Amino acid sequence: MAKTTNPEKLYEQDLVAWCDDTVAKLKAGNFEEIDIDSLIEEIAGLAGRDRRVASESCWHICSNGCK
């Protein structure tokens, strides 16, 4: 796990290391050390990607079913 005194900087420099660090903090219950703004940004981004993928999948199913 990457150690840093500035989790926001880690988020900007190395997303994988930031994810590993955040997961470790969550598992350990160190919630006060979590970069909450970046965590919110990532969760919101996941929701957007999921909606986009679901929409594209539905479009493909419908368009192939109509042929």
Question: What six digits make up the tokens of 23?
Answer: 């997961």
Alpha-carbon distances, residue 16 vs 7, 31, 43, 51, 56 (angstroms)? 12, 19, 15, 23, 27
pTM given for the model: 0.65
Look at the alpha carbons of 15, 16, 18, 23 in this order and tell me if their dihedral is positive or negative: positive
Q: Helix, strand or coil for residue 54? A: helix
Over residues 10-42, the pLDDT tens digits come to 999 999 999 999 999 999 999 999 999 999 999
User: At residue 66, does pLDDT exceed 70?
Assistant: no
